[in-house]
Structure 1
Amino acid sequence: MTPDPSQEHPLVIDEKQNKLLQNALRIKIMHALSREAMTSKQVADLLRKTPGNVHYHIQRLYEGGLLELSDTRSVAGIVEKYYTAKAAQFHFPGRAEGEDWQADDDAWTGGSPFSEYHATRLDLSEEEAARFSDELKALLEKWEQNTVGGQEYGVSIRLGRIDEKKEN
């Protein structure tokens, strides 16, 4: 079964699965495998990464229940394993990283009819990070200037480099 990346409802994940997805390469792998079933080698070629590195991450995602084995094929005596992502979007109902700011301000209503938290990891060059930041600012400005009114919503976006030494 190949998941539909445009699905309306994200897959609900647990704390261990959430931790597995706190890695930019794993997120890229999940997106690639949400579009079509592939082998570790095919994903590595697509992402221009080493097959061993991608295979390691695919195994962790599979063991964590985020990928499924969709097909196996024997080619010249070698068993090829094809994986698919169970979803392209995820929902972690636990306490989200960076959620502390909401608890400190009574004006934020986490229980309102529309309250969401979105997070991802991106593998960006300095130039890409600057361009991404500029695009975010432009998007916020567009919405600040072009709304007709209604309820007030707060938007908080943090963009920063991850210190891999502290993370491990």
Structure 2
Amino acid sequence: MPADELPETFHVTTDEQLRAVSNLTRHRIMAVLRFEPTTITQVAERMGLSKGSSSYHMRLLERAGLVKVVRTRKVRGVIERYYAMAARSIELPDPGEGGPDVLMRHAVADLEAAPLDGERHVRMAHLRLTDEQFAELGARLQALADEYRELSDPALPDASLVFALFHPAWREQADGSAE
């Protein structure tokens, strides 16, 4: 299935789906599947996994509905399955108070695993914004990410963009509205 035929967003709603995306290996498998259908063998080779491990993780992702078989072909009497993401993006539920955000944990793990000699742009900024400015910045960041996702070419090297715009917990305490 071509990427332009995929649904825009897959909403993670069940515990099974959340467990599937919470695993770093499965997160990285989904990154491999992001741009083109791939076999279990190809995933294993790209990630340095055994075929058995690759197959196990792919089955869990498929059972959770996050990936699906989009093509098969017969190779030396064996059916080879090509897997792809079930949607262009995945939306995780709000982790709730005190709950770690799976996406951010995976982003930090990916950043830590990235080659040290590679180009990186990592920034953290503390801003003081009105509610309107906050909403506008969130919309602009999302639009920028969407714009560059449309420009993505599977033939080019992979790059990851992660952003989080939020009000820290201490904001409520400083305002005196929570204790």
TM-score in same-fold range (> 0.5): yes
Alignment equivalent of 1:100, drawn from 78, 97, 105? 97
2:85 is matched with 85
Distance 1:62 1:37 in 2: 13
Change (3 A) 1:2 1:30: farther
CA RMSD of aligned residues (A): 3.6
- Asked whether the 8 Å contact 1:2–1:85 carries over to 2, the reply is no
Q: Distance in 1 between matches of 2:72 and 2:31?
A: 21
* Structure 1 residue 18 corresponds to structure 2 residue 2: no
* 2:134 counterpart of 1:150: no
Q: Summarize the Cα distance change of 1:61–1:128 in structure 2 as closer, same or farther, 3 Å threshold.
A: closer
Does the Cα contact within 8 Å between 1:71 and 1:83 map onto a contact in 2? Answer: yes
Question: Which structure has the highest helix share of the two?
Answer: 2
Counterpart of 2:3, as a letter, is P
Deviations 1:60-95 (A, max 9, x none): 1111111111111111112111111113531234xx
Q: Provide the secondary structure at the position in 2 that maps to 1:119.
A: helix
CA 125–26 in structure 1, closer or farther in 2 if over 3 Å, else same:
closer
| Contact kept in structure 2, 1:30 and 1:88, CA below 8 Å | no
Q: What residue is the counterpart of 1:61 in the other structure?
A: 61
Deviation at 1:37, TM superposition (A): 0.6
Specify the SS of the correspondent of 1:100: coil
Following superposition, the deviation at residue 14 of structure 1 comes to: 1.6
> May I ask how many residue pairs the two structures share in their alignment?
129
CA distance in 1, matches of 2:111, 2:11: 33
Deviations 1:142-164 (A, max 9, x none): x64xx8x53375445xxxxxxxx
In structure 2, the CA distance between the partners of 1:73 and 1:21, relative to structure 1 (3 Å rule), is: same
Q: TM-score, normalised by structure 2?
A: 0.57
2:84 is paired with a residue of what secondary structure? strand
Compared CA separation, residues 88 and 26, structure 1 to 2 (3 A): farther
Higher relative contact order (CA 8 A, sep 6+): 1
- Equivalent residue for 1:159? none
Structure 1: give runs of 5+ residues left out of the alignment: 103-116, 157-168
Q: What amino acid does structure 2 have at the position aligned with 1:40?
A: I
Q: Is the 8 A contact 1:22 1:121 kept in 2?
A: no
Return the letter of the residue paired with 2:103: A
**2:103 pairs with 1:119:** yes
Any conservation in 2 of the 1:33–1:83 contact (CA below 8 Å)?
A: yes
> CA distance change for structure 1 residues 63 and 127 in 2, over 3 Å: closer, same or farther?
closer
CA distance in structure 2 between the partners assigned to 1:78 and 1:139 by the alignment: 48
Distance between the aligned counterparts of 2:90 and 2:42, measured in 1?
A: 24
Query: 2:97, 2:102 → 1: CA distance?
Result: 14
For the residue of structure 2 that corresponds to 1:14, the secondary structure is coil
Aligned partners of 1:100 and 1:79: how far apart in 2? 46
